[in-house]
Structure 1
Amino acid sequence: MAGALRPVVLLMLLASVLFVLDGILDGVYPGGPAWFTGRYNNLAEIAYIFAIVNTAVAYLVARGSERSLMARIGLSAFFLIERPLTAFILGPKELPAVVVHLATALVELVILVSAVRVWRLGHSVGDAEMDSLFGLQSSSPMPVPPSDVDYPTPRPVAPGLPQKTAWMLGIITIVLAAVLVADGLVSGFAPGGRDWGLSGDASGWLVYLFAVVVLTVAARAVHGGILALRLLLATALLFVIERAFSPFALRVVDPLALVLHELAAFVALALALACASAIRGRRANAEGGVASLEAA
């Protein structure tokens, strides 16, 4: 199995499992509360269709179909929006169901990035290497562009983020966490306030958990790790979607709470853009280091 394509196929199969789990947690099973009962407008059942379609596309990708890989890139972009959206706008859901929806979106983001990488790699090598890349039965090593073969150089150790970039990421993250906490306080989730729960309006306290998550991820990302930066980028994008659409799902009517929701969405978007810029900067520094070694 080609090394570059294997993770994509495995992640696609994982996504199929998560789609099925989404349906089960939403109550879509014989005798369940959402089994063609009109709950969630009978849209929760579509998770099983997604699982079937995704598995079929995974099979085609595993057989080496480049068109199927391109189709899966489009599906990933769709699922990246659809999964967080349906976690909130169809009505109150239990916390495990919401978590699985968001986890599926995160897996779809990884699939999207990995599939685009494989597709770009396939077009940077020759036809023979492309056949090897898209053929899962091949035992040959993953092909690399000719430039890498002709001029092998040791990969330099990437430095950390510039201090200005690290400070920017840290400050934006702190602002986002502060807005999330303020949203929870304004919504009445404080000692002696409203009841805390796992569904509907009572789940508003989850903003405190969101704040802890984004601060924890950012604490690693400011040191310049590519994986941590990508995870922070994915987290910020999820918060953009969740903050923008959760007022509709939770029927938020308080003007101040609405302002805080939208402010958090904009701050999360700024954080996502800052993460993307930092990732590009790390790649540019790495390529510059390789060029310097080649010149030497």
Structure 2
Amino acid sequence: MKDALNGIRVLDITYYLPGPYAGMRLADMGAEIIKVEPPQGDPARYMSGGVVHEANNRGKTIVHLDLKSPEGLAEMLELVKTADALIETFRPGVMKKLGLDYDSLKTIKPDLVYCSLSGYGQNGDMAALGSHDLNYMALSGALDVLKDDSGRPVHPTNTFADFTGGLLAAEQITAALLKKFRTGEGRYLDIPLVEVMAEFLTNHDLYHERGISDHGIPEIAGSRISYAIYGTEDGRYMALGALEDKFWRNFCAFIGKPEWLEWGAKETGSPKHQEVASFFKSKSWREWYGLSLQVDACLTPVLKAHERHEHPYFLQKKRLEQQVAGRTPRD
């Protein structure tokens, strides 16, 4: 889909991560993204030597405008006249003070698709509060479903709300563009990141409402031997997702443990679970890594982020993409 949005121009007036990521997703689909930064640049340029900025602004044209100056505002309004869509991530009310809110811009560009991506939306008591990814995870309930064995929420080392919010923004903008070209109508999109994360908890809501579980789907909540994370001899981890009987049977047959065939649905923490866990710890992570490529049992190594680039799946995918593009990698 690298050319699906060819001919579409999007103005990206966003900083840090969720907005830039949304714009980059649209750029990856062929849209022309003009990222408007202040004269001193996006603040992300100064985080860890600019790594966050570099990682989320691929394929964009970056211009620097002082939107508080008459000259900068005039240049921005000229860009709006040529744009199909605009993304902004300022706190509610800022764009209105600048004269760049949706109501103002639709007078000069009636079919503009305008997306506001924020923590708590444009209205309500919390709309003007400062917030970050950890807050959206916590308030939505998403952080509570990521707990260690003691019940303490695990501190994420990735910004899940930012990335999922960026994905949803790209999806909603694309849908609004489709409607724009069908009807000629513009659209205002208000996307609060806290609500984005809450949308992933519909299973949990219904299980709680029905009195079945306060932890979502019980079968995948870490309570079954066949669907759990296991430590290895050298302190690394493997993920076993053999939820269906056929995968558990495949696993038991492959490792030569037919006596475990009836254990798949047994509870973690039981003596049987301890026996399985001890067996995992009898081999190194590298040994289990190799075995995971030999058996169809939903068995995968828990990789560090940089290690995925060397996994056969990602290596093969990269090779195929290069071949399609006419660039066969050298041996």
> Which bracket does the TM-score occupy, shorter chain normalised?
under 0.3
* Higher percent of residues as strand: 2
TM normalised by structure 2 equals 0.24
Q: TM-score, normalised by structure 1?
A: 0.26
More helix by percentage: 1
Structure showing greater Rg: 2
Higher RCO (CA 8 Å, separation ≥ 6 residues): 1
